[in-house]
Amino acid sequence: MREEEKQLVRRLSFFEHVPDEAVDELLKGALVQQFPSETILFHQGERPDFLHVLLEGQVGLLGVGTDGKETVVEFMNPVESFILAAVLTDAPYLMSAKVIDRARVLLLPAAPLREQVNTNARLAADMLASLAKHYRMLVRQVKDLKLRSSTQRLGCYLLALAEQSESGSSVTLPVDKRLLAARLGMTPENLSRAFSNLRPVGVRTSGQTVTIGDIEALRDLCRPDPNLED
């Protein structure tokens, strides 16, 4: 494992307070691998052998229905771990993980990690914080799905992207529109309709680029909750 990769791993919030030696110990059996787009890292229903840590690229966590229908529950960006809840409880994955954009992934063996968590209070407490963050992401999503229209969901998503972007009025969609529609809980057709509904507040798309003409009007329409959004 390269020094640069070790530095990336240390950016995981739950390794923040762990001494170097303990991290080195955990990384002993770890592998770093490159995966091309579309690679399935694991399937829903399998038991976790590793905690995956995304170092580079993008991964989607997918839900698959009993009829084979597929949706996106969440996207993972570097540096992020997935899926703690399954790995720590040694329970079958409820989601599959698929590479969306060429990914470099650290595979951290699950068994030694579980052992460390059972004996190292600091690590366990930091993992609680990380899991709590992911729990809260899902609470936000459930509220989003149940309380907002498709148009408002898209609007709030664009506003969140705009917050992170430098210009603030032009954002780049991180995934194609088919995946975005799944993440937002709508069909591609509904996503097109939602974009059309946002034209009156100056939202225009050109490929992956979205410009927001009137950000205040978009806020008024979609009413994101400044205290509770991510």
Residues in the chain: 230
Q: Is cis: bond before 72, omega within 30 of 0? A: no
CB of 116 to a copy of itself, least distance (A): 9
x/- track of binding to a copy of itself for residues 150-179 (CB under 8 A): ------------------------------
Contact (Cβ atoms closer than 8 angstroms) between residue 211 and residue 204: yes
Whole-angstrom distance, CA of residue 97 vs CA of residue 76:
10
Total of residues contacting a copy of itself (CB under 8 A): 53
73, 79, 100, 159: which one binds a copy of itself (CB under 8 A): 73
Q: With respect to a copy of itself, which residue has the nearer C-beta, 43 or 102?
A: 43
147, 168, 196, 200: which one binds a copy of itself (CB under 8 A): 147
64-93 per-residue burial string, b: 16 or more CB within 10 A, e: under 16: eeeeeeebbbbbbebbbbbbbebbbeeeeb
CB of 133 to a copy of itself, least distance (A): 8
Helix/strand/coil for 19: coil
Q: With respect to a copy of itself, which residue has the nearer C-beta, 40 or 228?
A: 228
53, 113, 179, 182: which one binds a copy of itself (CB under 8 A): 182
Q: 206-210, long-range: CB within 8 Å, 24+ apart, which pairs?
A: 208/172, 208/173, 208/176, 209/170, 209/171, 209/172, 209/173, 210/158, 210/161, 210/170, 210/171, 210/172, 210/173
CB of 138 to a copy of itself, least distance (A): 4
Q: Which of 149, 147, 155 is nearest to 222 (CA)?
A: 155
19, 29, 36, 45: which one binds a copy of itself (CB under 8 A): 45
Interacting positions 76-105 with a copy of itself (CB under 8 A): 84-86, 88-89, 91-92, 94-95
For residue 87, is it left (φ>0), alpha (ψ between -120 and 50) or beta? alpha
Helix/strand/coil for 54: strand
x/- track of binding to a copy of itself for residues 100-129 (CB under 8 A): -----------------xxxxxx-xx-xxx
Q: With respect to a copy of itself, which residue has the nearer C-beta, 84 or 108?
A: 84
Angle (nearest 5°) at CA 92 between 86 and 98: 80
6, 22, 23, 141: which one binds a copy of itself (CB under 8 A): 141
Binding site for a copy of itself (CB under 8 A): 44-45, 63-67, 69, 71, 73, 84-86, 88-89, 91-92, 94-95, 117-122, 124-125, 127-129, 131-136, 138-143, 145-148, 182, 185, 223-225, 227-228
